[in-house]
Amino acid sequence: MSLALDVAYAAGVVLASPLLAYKALTSEKYRTGYRERLGGVAARAGSAPCAWLHAVSVGEMNLARPLVEALARARPDWDLVLSTATNTGLATAQRLYPGRRVFYYPLDFSFAVRRSLGRIRPDVVLLVELEVWPNFLAAAARRGVVVAIVNGRLSERAFRRYRLIRPLVARWLGRVKLLCVQSETYAERLKALGAPPERVVVTGNVKFDSCPAAPPGGRDEALAASLGIGADEPVVVAGCTWPGEDEALVAMYPRLRAAAPGLRLVLAPRQAERFGAVEQLVRRAGLPCVRRTALAQGQRGEAGAVVVLDTVGELARVYGLATAAFVGGSLVPHGGHNMLEACAHARPVLFGPHTANFRDITEELIAGHAALCVANAEELERALRGLLSDPGAAAELGRRARSVVDRHRGATERTMAALEPLLRPIEQERT
């Protein structure tokens, strides 16, 4: 099976080589980390027990923070290392976990995963959400490494695809010793794909625990000032935006500003390589624009300038400045992004109809009248206009959003309790 997968992967690389070469020439993220991705990570020193946590990108790395902290408290003598698949995920991990070993997850070629496992020598691997790769699972099983899923989820779309190859998926899932999942819906989907039922545990969504523990006592005016935003200026924060959404927000901004004098717009594109393109989009519309990094270097933006948040890891704090927050990837079909960071600040939250990646959360927010789902850009503009003109309604929507977050905390504690029977025997064998 490993040989067949290697051949299939190699064929895919050959077929995609012109595109990969072009991307390598035009984007830094396709030129970095290949030594580690091919298994060339530095060997781990010492013989302490080791937990390896893998979070594919920025969002997963951020939400893993409560788990990393809980593991460090529960097993202070263990080595805890982290891997990711993206440049921004790596930068986020280095910022969040200074002093921790951070590296790129190996490509799923059998030689690459063997080298990585041999050099890191983990006792347990924790895969955030459902980042399962067959050669990695097979190599871990051969080495006797315990593999567990934490904060697992499986979208309806992915479930339909996996059902087409259910015998293979069942084999892969059989190598996972524990599957801690966010909801009963995800648990039933994994069982239907062949996951051993006794290994599937509903522990809740760790994303709720990764939100701020308490709402701030007002807007962070020091942060606002660092973004060039005045104390009395209302703010629309648009986070994790994609092409199509930025254009819509830029087009409606002058009209919203006419209805809400002093309004400011903060755009936080999802992809770092789009920061420059979004700045140019704003300027082509005839609007003043300034980047966050330029402000940090002392540049002053023009009055009413759109702020492009071209930093990684700052969006969660910036949501706390919002008079209203729009969470992107949802007006266009990208499945949506994490809206809980804005909810935790008790801010009114809006998103579009494409939220398959966060369906359980969005359904609960909507059912609790704790967020607004808009069908298109026109509805988004009307909803923003309404919230900006009615501070009482905006505050009540934010309060209900915050209550949803608070009601669902505790997944980290439940996950750690589920993992304990796997971790304890490893520790006992080493002592």
The residues assigned a catalytic role are 60
Amino acid at position 278, single letter: V
Is the torsion defined by CA of 213, 219, 225, 227 positive or negative? positive
Apex CA 57: angle with CA 55 and CA 60, to 5°? 55
CB 214 within 8 Å of CB 302: no
What's the token pair of residue 262?
């002093």
Whole-number Å distance between alpha carbons of 175 and 195 = 9
Long-range contacts of 381-387 (CB under 8 A, 24+ apart): 381/252, 381/255, 381/256, 383/350, 384/236, 384/252, 384/256, 384/324, 384/326, 384/350, 385/256, 385/259, 385/260, 387/323, 387/324, 387/348, 387/350
Rounded distance between C-alpha atoms, residue 293 and residue 277, angstroms: 15
Q: DSSP label at 372?
A: E
Residues 257 and 304 sit within 8 Å (Cβ to Cβ): yes
CA distance 228 to 294: 11
Residues 6+ apart with CB under 8 A from 317: 220, 223
